[in-house]
Amino acid sequence: EGNAACLGYFLIIFWCVGVVLLTFITEAPFFTANSGYFATWACLILSIYFVVIQQDTHLPLFCQRGEMSNSFRAVLVIFIVGGIILVASGSALCVLNNGCVAETAFAVSAPFITWALVGLIVAFPDLAQIFKIILVLFWLAAVSLFTVFLGPFEAADVTGNGFYSSWALFIASVLIQIVPRNI
């Protein structure tokens, strides 16, 4: 049990470094969406999943097992990981462009707004439905702005991490509407 948790955390750290080195740097072999890109991300996602399915003591952030359904916790993980990826992708574009244009700055700040809304959903179950509606409307506008209309992640084959994390966060905002919070 303890060895499995240590292995899981090691794999997460290992694949986080791998994802950064293999998919975020413009000269990286998997900067654009290809088989290696998806395999690298799959390894990180499966490493996170491996830790998530461990016992309660390894997941203090998500309360005790009896309080939230596994589906709800999985959606929370998507919000956390997807947000981190979006912040990193937007920040990388700001560095590459020697500054942030408005759309890229919004892409960097959107996960923080999302995390605040998700925190309100978790903290105030009686008002959760209102915050869930705000969250899905926010991400409908954000994903449209980031990937369809004004960029900065318009082309999936060029800016894969930002493009895919934007869509993952939109899908998570829809999923949180329908997954049960409690077991």
Give the range among 131-135, 148-152, 158-162 with minimum mean pLDDT: 158-162
| Per-residue confidence (pLDDT) for residue 73, from 0 to 100 | 83
| Per-residue confidence (pLDDT) for residue 83, from 0 to 100 | 93
Answer yes or no: are the C-beta atoms of 118 and 76 closer than 8 Å: yes
Pick the closest to residue 165 from 119, 118, 123, 114 (CA basis).
114
pLDDT digits (tens, 9 = 90+) for 64-105: 445 778 788 888 888 998 999 899 888 888 888 888 888 888
Task: Output the DSSP codes for the chain.
Answer: -HHHHHHHHHHHHHHHHHHIIIIISTTSTTSSSSHHHHHHHHHHHHHHHHHHTS-GGG-GGG--TTTS-HHHHHHHHHHHHHHHHHHHHHHHHHHHTTS--HHHHHHHHHHHHHHHHHHHHHH-GGGHHHHHHHHHHHHHHHHHIIIIIS-SS--TTTSHHHHHHHHHHHHHHHHHHHS-S--
Query: pTM to 2 decimals?
Result: 0.77
Structure tokens at 102: 């408005």
Contacts of 5 (CB under 8 A, 6+ apart): 51, 54, 55, 58
Average confidence score pLDDT of the chain: 83
Structure tokens at 57: 């003591």
Q: Band of the pLDDT at 173, cuts 50, 70, 90?
A: very high
Answer yes or no: are the C-beta atoms of 181 and 68 closer than 8 Å: yes
